[in-house]
């Protein structure tokens, strides 16, 4: 039985870090470990506005847990896609940031999308604080958090939501909920990511990662049907049964198609 994942304070090391991640991907090379990446990044001059200590923290506590999950995965794939517009590439960064930070993932799924789909226009500081307080009380954190830690983590969650475009500051303690939909490229990427991970077609459609984009199983089915018109795959469905013909066999093939749009 796998060990239950707990909420951590790792978001304090860095929130979305979209431009920083793009820059790190540009200097990263396959096989490069965190120590070497830090040194090369430091010497590149691309991070002259941050201290060496801060840069080391970004590399080891943010970039590595998100983008060096299994060897070079997914850094090698994202490096190939690094020329995509920021608004599209950031959705892929959002996916891997959520996977690496369970507290952010759960907040987006259980709080943000509940409010979004419920037609609410704003989120508040109290929304995130209440979420963290409940997590702390129910044993979801690594250890009990102090009031100051709860306050800080609550702000990190909201800051991450701002960075990835889910919300924007409105007034003190209030955030306007933005219209947020996955791009076609992001949906194709996620579908293939799950497929390449060895999941069957039904498991791909029903995977919980789609909830990060506000999509349920039936939504995913319809979205993938639309994507099939773009040639990413062939979708055949009858009732609850679905079969997907995957047109690309490797990440390299898929990346070339995604880049061309």
DSSP run (H or E) holding 107: helix 102-107
- pTM for the model: 0.94
Same domain as 238, residue 193: yes
Q: Looking at 54, 71, 99, which one is the last position of a domain?
A: 99
Question: Is 2 within a domain?
Answer: no
**Predicted pLDDT at 3:** 62
Model pLDDT, residue 7: 95
Mean pLDDT of 30-35: 94
Condensed to tens digits (0 to 9), the pLDDT of residues 215-234 reads: 999 999 999 999 999 999 99
Say whether both 141 and 74 belong to one domain. no
Q: What angle do CA 213, 133, 102 make, to 5 degrees?
A: 35
Say yes or no: 165 and 117 in one domain: yes
78 and 118 in a single domain? The answer is: no
The contacts found for 174-179 with CB under 8 angstroms, 24 or more apart, are: 174/122, 174/123, 174/124, 174/125, 175/122, 175/123, 175/124, 176/121, 176/122, 177/112, 177/115, 177/116, 177/120, 177/121, 177/122, 177/123
Spatial separation of the C-alpha atoms in residues 114 and 108, rounded to whole Å: 9
| Residue 170 placed within a domain | yes
C-alpha–C-alpha distance, residues 95 and 123, integer Å: 21
What local confidence, expressed as pLDDT, does residue 254 receive? Answer: 95
Total domain count for the chain? 3
Residue 188 and residue 254 in one domain = yes
- For position 132, which CATH number holds? 1.10.10
Residue 204 has pLDDT above 50, yes or no: yes
- The predicted structure's pLDDT at residue 260: 83
- Asked whether residue 146 falls in the same domain as residue 195, the answer is no
pLDDT above 60 for 2: no
Domain boundary among 154, 177, 200: 177
Does 90 lie in the same domain as 16?
A: yes
* Mean pLDDT computed over 125-152: 95
Q: Report residue 105 as tokens.
A: 């993932």
Position 5 in a domain = no
Query: Using a CB cutoff of 8 Å and minimum separation of 24, what contacts does 212-217 make?
Result: 212/94, 212/95, 212/98, 212/105, 212/108, 212/109, 213/91, 213/180, 213/181, 213/182, 213/186, 213/187, 214/113, 214/116, 214/117, 214/180, 214/181, 215/182
pLDDT at res. 171: 87
**Per-residue pLDDT at 107:** 98
- Does 157 score more than 50 pLDDT? yes
Q: Is residue 159 part of a domain?
A: yes
Q: Is residue 240 part of a domain?
A: yes
Residue 4 in domain: no
For residue 87, the enclosing domain spans 10-99
Closest CA to 261 of 232, 226, 234: 232
At 38-96, the pLDDT tens digits run 999 999 989 989 999 999 999 999 999 999 999 999 999 999 999 999 999 999 999 99
| Residues 105 and 53 grouped into a single domain | no
pLDDT, tens digit, for every residue of 95-113? 999 999 999 999 999 999 9
Residues 190 and 218 in one domain: yes
Same domain flag for 17 and 53: yes
Q: What pLDDT is attached to residue 241? A: 83
Rounded to whole angstroms, the Cα distance separating 107 from 134 reads: 12
For residues 75 and 36, the answer to whether their CB atoms sit within 8 Å is: no
In a domain, 138, yes or no: yes
User: pLDDT by residue (tens digit) across 160-199?
Assistant: 999 999 999 998 889 999 999 999 999 999 999 999 999 9
Of the three residues 145, 177, 209, the one that is the final residue of a domain is: 177
In-domain check, residue 244: yes
């Amino acid at each position: 039985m796998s060990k239950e994942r707990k909420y951590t304070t790792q978001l304090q090391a860095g929130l979305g870090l979209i431009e920083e991640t793009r820059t790190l991907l540009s200097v990263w090379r396959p096989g490069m470990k965190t120590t070497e990446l830090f040194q090369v990044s430091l010497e590149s001059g691309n991070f002259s506005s941050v201290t060496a200590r801060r840069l080391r923290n970004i590399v080891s506590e943010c970039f590595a847990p998100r983008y060096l999950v299994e060897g070079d995965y997914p850094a090698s794939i994202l490096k190939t896609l690094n020329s995509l517009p920021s608004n599209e590439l950031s959705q892929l960064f959002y996916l891997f940031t959520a996977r690496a930070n369970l507290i952010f993932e759960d907040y987006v799924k259980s709080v943000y999308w509940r409010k979004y789909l419920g037609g609410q226009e704003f989120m508040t500081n109290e929304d995130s604080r209440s979420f963290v307080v409940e997590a702390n009380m129910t044993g979801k954190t690594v250890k009990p958090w102090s009031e100051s830690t709860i306050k800080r983590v609550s702000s990190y969650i909201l800051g991450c939501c701002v960075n990835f475009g889910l919300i924007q500051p409105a007034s003190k303690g209030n955030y306007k909920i933005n219209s947020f939909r996955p791009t076609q490229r992001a949906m194709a990427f996620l579908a293939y990511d799950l497929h390449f991970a060895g999941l069957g077609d039904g498991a791909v459609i029903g995977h919980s990662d789609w909830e990060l984009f506000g999509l349920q199983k039936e939504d995913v089915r319809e979205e993938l049907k639309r994507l099939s018109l773009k040639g990413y795959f062939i979708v055949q469905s009858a009732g609850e049964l679905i079969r997907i013909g995957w047109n690309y066999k490797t990440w390299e093939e898929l990346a070339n198609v995604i880049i061309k749009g």
